[in-house]
Amino acid sequence: MHDLIVVGAGLAGLALAARAQEAGQDVAVIEARSRIGGRSLVHRTASGCYDLGP
């Protein structure tokens, strides 16, 4: 059983999970998408990479 379950692997959720784990808690992160990062992402094209999101 986990001490903390974080719903959402965006910036805030990942930061919370990291701090809780550093404090010795057993943490699980649940994300609906197949990738982490929430609204942040990188768009890659032949001409370069572009940061999208907040």
Domain count, the chain: 1
Lookup: tokens for 2: 């986990």
Lookup: tokens for 35: 């990738």
Report the b/e string of 34-45 with b at 16+ CB within 10 A. eeeebeeeeeee
Domain that holds residue 25: 4-52
Q: Which pLDDT value is given to residue 46?
A: 97
Residue 54's pLDDT band (cuts 50, 70, 90):
confident
Measure the CA–CA gap between 22 and 33, rounded to whole angstroms: 25
In the chain, where do the E strands start and end?
4-7, 27-30, 41-45, 48-52
pLDDT in tens, 4-52: 999 999 999 999 999 999 999 999 999 999 999 998 989 999 999 999 8
